[in-house]
């Protein structure tokens, strides 16, 4: 499964529900403290359930919502590329479509609600039967499904499997009254539905900016930890581990049985009151066995003790290697790499190498890459459809489609809107557009004029009266002319804003 969209509501600065569509590559751009990292951290909470980088607490509830008595955080994720089959019961394969667990568009829409930032409640929004005779079947135990089948005098080929019983009941209805509604799937009777669905969800790994650097650092900065998760997710490895666990369990059963037999010889009443309690093999956490796997350097210094630049260089190398591997291998598990500010502590050449690696990685099968960035250089290497501009934490301020002034696509415009990046390149672009449209005379009209000393071909000086925009353009193109004062950054920004406003008005 791949992430199609994420929605957050009442979470930190997001007072109202904000939804963003996510492609294989999704880059969130914008100034500091606009809510970019919040979106990545919301996904970490959703997927890793407090065992990843982020722990949910009451301070995460939006303060305005809390004042209004609304304390329930909501994080929704919609998935595409759903599995063809899913094992909801112990031995009965079915599909999300057959269980009416998909939206009208054929996607899986999972909603997690956290009342008072506490234990999650999980719902699936889907086109689901609501007729009284056949609703809420996923919440019913097998004996209740059998009773309902008998009551409605319906036939079922296999009454030992819940999925078969549900299908027979639904097939026996004249009108299912399908409606888009929410089905709670994490409570006791339907919990198995959610547990099985989680097995098909992508691994989500968040690489945060370097905010902490301690032995207890929860951030997954060492890529070897991701490798462990992915390797352990391999079906063949799972099968081998299950075999090992079953063998250990069988031998423990024998040891416990022999111990109780000997106890019976000494005190039969105590022996009869005891029974061996051995954890189910499916509950074993193999990843904990390999939790100390890491990359270390000279003198066994772990990566989290190295400088930020070194850590990011290791990540660059990891992502480059992953891009090559995932492009060539088949049957890989779905994975989402989420990286905050990949440009941190890196030389521009390394930034470009990392960006190239991440773009390549996002093109691999079963892979998605999510980024936040403050780097105009990274933005310039992207496609427009991969950029989300985050200007604030409201729906109209988080947009994948650039709704700004220019009537043509421009990554320089994205950088200016996101970071206030006033560059010579952008100034030339705007001026060139106005000139190409034949509107320079209209643009000059009524604007303040500045004296500009132009060097003639014969070396003499000619003083002309021109507008600020032309003054800056001449200086950009003729840096050898030192007869004029240098324009300031503020003047460059003022000229850019002036041209953007003119283009907006004149179309």
pLDDT in tens, the chain (507 residues): 999 999 999 999 999 999 999 999 999 988 777 888 999 999 999 998 888 888 999 999 999 999 999 999 999 999 999 988 887 765 678 889 999 999 999 999 999 999 999 999 999 999 999 999 999 888 888 899 999 999 999 999 888 888 889 999 999 998 999 999 999 987 655 667 788 888 888 888 888 765 443 333 443 345 666 677 777 777 778 788 888 888 888 888 888 788 878 778 877 877 777 676 666 656 667 777 776 666 555 555 555 555 556 666 676 677 767 766 766 666 677 889 898 888 776 777 777 888 888 888 898 888 999 999 888 888 888 888 888 888 777 777 787 655 454 556 678 888 887 888 889 999 998 999 899 889 999 999 999 999 999 998 888 999 999 999 999 999 999 888 999 999 999 999 999 999 989 988 887
Number of H helices, E strands in the chain: 16, 16
Residue partners of 488: CB distance under 8 A and separation at least 6: none
pTM of the model: 0.73
pLDDT of residue 216: 39
pLDDT of residue 368: 94
CA separation for the pair 455, 176 (Å, rounded): 83
pLDDT of residue 250: 84
Task: Determine how many CB atoms are found less than 10 A away from the CB of residue 344.
Answer: 20
DSSP state at residue 334: P
pLDDT of residue 97: 92
pLDDT of residue 355: 84
pLDDT of residue 212: 45
Beta bridge partners of 126: 181
pLDDT of residue 286: 72
CA separation for the pair 258, 245 (Å, rounded): 20
Query: Residue 127 is inside which H or E element, if any?
Result: strand 121-129
CA separation for the pair 294, 221 (Å, rounded): 10
pLDDT of residue 215: 37
Both tokens assigned to 226: 């991701």
Query: Residue 216: phi, psi to the nearest 5?
Result: -95, 15
Helices (H), 267-347: 268-273, 308-328
Evaluate whether 503 touches 434 at the Cβ level (below 8 Å): yes
User: Greatest CA separation found in the chain?
Assistant: 119
CA separation for the pair 489, 1 (Å, rounded): 47
Both tokens assigned to 205: 């790994």
Torsion over CA: 216, 218, 220, 221 (sign): negative
């Amino acid at each position: 499964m791949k992430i199609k969209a994420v929605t957050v509501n009442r979470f930190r600065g997001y007072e109202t529900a904000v939804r963003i569509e996510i492609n294989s590559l999704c880059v969130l751009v914008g100034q500091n403290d606009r809510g970019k990292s919040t979106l990545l951290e919301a996904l970490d909470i959703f997927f890793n359930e407090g065992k990843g980088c982020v722990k949910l607490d009451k301070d995460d509830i939006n303060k305005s919502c809390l004042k209004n008595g609304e304390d329930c955080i909501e994080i929704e994720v919609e998935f595409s590329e759903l599995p063809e089959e899913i094992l909801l019961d112990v031995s009965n394969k079915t599909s999300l479509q057959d269980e009416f667990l998909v939206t009208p568009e054929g996607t899986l829409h999972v909603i997690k609600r956290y009342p008072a930032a506490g234990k999650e409640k999980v719902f699936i929004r889907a086109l689901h039967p609501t007729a009284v005779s056949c609703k809420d079947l996923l919440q019913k135990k097998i004996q209740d499904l059998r009773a309902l089948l008998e009551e409605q005098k319906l036939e079922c080929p296999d009454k030992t499997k819940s999925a078969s019983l549900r299908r027979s009941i639904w097939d026996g209805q004249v009108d299912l009254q399908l409606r888009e509604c929410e089905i709670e799937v994490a409570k006791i009777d339907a919990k198995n539905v959610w547990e099985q669905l989680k097995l098909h969800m992508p691994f989500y790994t968040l690489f945060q900016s370097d905010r902490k650097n301690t032995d207890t650092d929860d951030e997954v900065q060492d890529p070897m930890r991701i490798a462990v998760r992915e390797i352990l997710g391999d079906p063949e490895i799972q099968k081998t581990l299950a075999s090992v666990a079953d063998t250990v369990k069988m031998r423990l059963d024998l040891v416990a049985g022999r111990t109780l037999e000997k106890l019976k010889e000494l005190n039969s009443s105590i022996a009869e009151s005891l029974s061996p309690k051995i954890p189910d093999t499916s509950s074993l956490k193999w990843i904990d066995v390999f939790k100390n796997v890491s990359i270390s350097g000279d003198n066994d210094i772990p990566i989290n003790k190295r400088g930020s630049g070194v850590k990011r260089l290791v990540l660059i190398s990891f992502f480059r290697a992953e891009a090559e591997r995932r492009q060539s291998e088949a049957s890989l598990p779905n994975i989402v790499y989420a990286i905050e500010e990949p440009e941190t502590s890196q030389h521009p050449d390394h930034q470009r190498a990392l960006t190239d690696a991440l773009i390549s990685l996002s093109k691999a099968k079963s892979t998605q890459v999510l980024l936040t960035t403050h780097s105009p250089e990274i933005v310039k290497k992207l496609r427009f459809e991969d950029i989300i501009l985050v200007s604030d934490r409201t729906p109209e301020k988080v947009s994948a489609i650039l709704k700004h002034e220019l009537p043509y696509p421009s990554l320089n415009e994205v950088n200016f809107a996101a970071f206030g990046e006033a560059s010579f390149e952008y100034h030339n672009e705007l001026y060139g557009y106005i000139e190409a449209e034949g509107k320079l005379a209209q643009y000059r009209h009524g604007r303040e004029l500045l004296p500009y000393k132009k060097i003639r071909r014969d070396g003499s000086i000619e003083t002309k009266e021109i507008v600020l925009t032309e003054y800056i353009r001449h200086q950009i193109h003729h840096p050898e002319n030192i007869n004029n004062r240098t324009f300031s950054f503020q003047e460059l920004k003022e000229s850019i804003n002036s041209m953007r406003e003119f283009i907006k008005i004149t179309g």
